[in-house]
Amino acid sequence: MSHFIVAQPEKCIGCYTCEVACAVGHEGTPLLAARHYFPRLKVVKSAQISVPVMCRQCENAPCVAACPVAALYKGEQAIETQSQRCINCKSCVIACPFGAIEIVGKNEAVPQIVKCDLCAGQQAGPACVRVCPTGALTLVTAGDLTRQQQKQQRAAAKSQLHAHIPEEVKTHG
């Protein structure tokens, strides 16, 4: 995938701001009731740590492979959904190694596939990243990955260059 969100548990304070922003952003109204609260990520807390868990937008997504009716598919930037195709078999829920997919019945209608879509269609990008008060969430793009890979390659090439210089040369000048 070309985009995904990275969560840094050491920065997360477990405030649920990301979860609420996600639910509000997808519901379209700040007046949420329990029956309309469907965030695409879940904050998981333990005594020592808290961190939001969301879809990792896997390159070879097991949820996509598991869906018998192609209700999930690999889009340009994320794993996308077509809830109208969903038959509520929950194969995708079982296949997701991160527990980041939920199937819900919204007003007794067609099942709705609830998973991170990177706030597709929202020009400002993912709401969770924008509102996190500690900066624990970061959107990673294909460009970011390319730059990181180039940086690592330069560092590896530099270390290989220094590895071939005899120790006497390194210490004497």
- Listed by start position, the domains of the chain span 4-140, 143-173
For domain 4-140, is the CATH number 3.30.70.20?
A: yes
In degrees and rounded to multiples of 5, residue 79 shows phi and psi of -75, 120
Tokens of 105: 């019945």
Q: Can you list the pairs that 161-169 forms with residues at least 24 positions away whose Cβ atoms lie under 8 Å?
A: none
Q: Are 41 and 116 in contact (CB under 8 A)?
A: yes
- In angstroms, the CA 3 to CA 1 distance is 6
- Span 86-114, pLDDT tens digits: 999 999 999 999 999 999 876 667 788 99
- In angstroms, the CA 88 to CA 27 distance is 21
- Span 64-85, pLDDT tens digits: 999 999 999 999 889 999 999 9
pTM higher than 0.85 = no
Tokens of 114: 């609830």
Q: Among candidates 94, 86, 118, which has minimal Cα distance to 5?
A: 118
- In angstroms, the CA 88 to CA 116 distance is 18
- Tokens 């995938």 -> residue: 1
3-state secondary structure (DSSP) of residue 51: strand
Handedness of CA 65, 70, 72, 74 (dihedral sign): positive
- In angstroms, the CA 148 to CA 94 distance is 33
Between 163 and 23, name the one with better pLDDT: 23
